[in-house]
Amino acid sequence: MEREDRNRESRKLTRIMSTDKIFFIIPFLLGLSYSVYSVTLRTKIGMLAGSNYPYMILITSMETIPGIFSVIMGYYIDKFGGGLSIIFGFLASISLLVFPLASLNILPILVFVFVSSYMLYTPIIYGIILKKAMGSGKKLGLLLMMQSIGWTLGGLFPATFSLFGAIDFGFVFSSLMLLFSTWLLSIIEKPVKSVVSTVNSLGDFARVISLNWKISLGIIMWSSAYSMMSGVFSLKLYNSVNSEFEYGIYFTVLTGIASIIVRPYAGIIVDKVDPIKIILASITAYLLLSLALVIATPALIVILWITPIYPFFDTASYSLLSKAMGEKFQFTAAGIISTSMSIGGTINFLLYNFLKTQEFESLLFIASAIFFISIIWYLFLFSKVLISFRCKER
């Protein structure tokens, strides 16, 4: 009897290890798919619309607004499991197949449909990443590094497709990679459901949200400034290079290589330093970058684009919220990140339509001001100990 128990436990451990190996591929495929989609879309817009910032800000907003749904899906997964989230992964991959047929007028609607499904799919992936990291910034950095590797390689495909005049095939390729990631995740859905708590009440959800909304507000402000800056940045980058192929290389490949190198170190630094301090340092770097773009030459724009700041902000934000939300709400924590960034992108869209300016310099100064406000906000939280790093399990 004892031998049978040992054998049963051994088989169970083997299944878990096998599941982990399968999952390790999924962040890679996710990064690859979104990278191919992102570069293909922006290359197509650059070819058809040129330096049309209002159109670009519309596209960027359609990509960020749907993240509002992520926190809802995150809580749903924490309570009921990830089956519904996986269905949205399949829907997102199917919606990408319509992109090659779309005109510029229809494209924003398709972007919204695709990203809405995508944002309802990704909380399950990031939630599993947070659970596997178990509060370790180093493990978190390594898992997120797989996504960076996918993002890096993704830039090569649209660049190559553009050389043969088949840039729209990038959407088909992105669809296939996303479909593959969803299928692999469906294989390990049962192990995912077995570790998900089904007793989290709406009261528990409201409690952890009320305790940690201040962290989320800082991310919202950062995201608003980042969305405004990145829209200008991507257009400046496109106008600073000589071809779509070169644009694809700079947009993802070189930035991805820098991110791959930096991510493990970002995780280690987050473990050794308070995450809030890493967040503050990252936002300060973005503030300086935004100001530098006002006077940057084409060569400097390329250098600034490659500079890896995001891995530090990303890893520190996930680490901070993962610890603050507690073990029972890791999928919700992942959803809060996406939702906060979505709200920030929505604010950027509303702010742009209120200001009615297309002057890059003005937009960059406004983005810099919002970065500065978010720095003051986090300094206030840190100095007053209002968040007190609620890192212990609730």
CA distance 250 to 303: 9
Instruction: Please give the pLDDT value at position 371.
Output: 94
pTM for this prediction: 0.74
CA distance 124 to 344: 22
Which band of pLDDT confidence, cut at 50, 70 and 90, is reported for residue 241?
confident
| Of 176, 238, 209, nearest in space to 52 by CA | 238
Contact indicator for 155, 38 with CB cutoff of 8 Å: no
CA distance 84 to 89: 9
Q: Quick one: average pLDDT of 111-135? A: 87
Average pLDDT, rounded, for the chain: 80
Residues 87-107 pLDDT 10s: 999 999 999 999 988 888 889
Paired tokens of 31? 């990064």
Residues 178-203 pLDDT 10s: 999 999 888 876 645 544 444 556 66
Which band of pLDDT confidence, cut at 50, 70 and 90, is reported for residue 20?
low
Q: What percent of the chain has a predicted confidence (pLDDT) above 90?
A: 19
Q: What residues contact 335, with CB distance under 8 A and at least 6 apart?
A: 70, 71, 72, 73, 74, 75, 123, 127
Residues 77-89 pLDDT 10s: 888 888 889 999 9
Q: Quick one: average pLDDT of 280-285? A: 93
Paired tokens of 181? 């990631």
CA distance 151 to 168: 18
Contact indicator for 313, 279 with CB cutoff of 8 Å: yes
CA distance 331 to 328: 8
User: Hey, where are the domains in the chain?
Assistant: 2-384
Which band of pLDDT confidence, cut at 50, 70 and 90, is reported for residue 19?
low
Burial class of residue 237 in the structure, from the number of CB atoms within 10 Å of its CB (0-12 exposed, 13-18 middle, 19+ buried): buried
CA dihedral 61, 109, 332, 373 (to 10 degrees): 10
Domain 2-384: CATH architecture, name and number where available: Up-down Bundle (1.20)
For residues 330-357, b (16+ Cβ closer than 10 Å) or e, as one string? bbbbbbbbbbbbbbbbbbbbebbeeeee
For residues 269-308, b (16+ Cβ closer than 10 Å) or e, as one string? bbbeeebbebbbbbbebbbebbebbeebeeeebbebbeeb
Which of 338 and 20 is assigned the larger pLDDT?
338
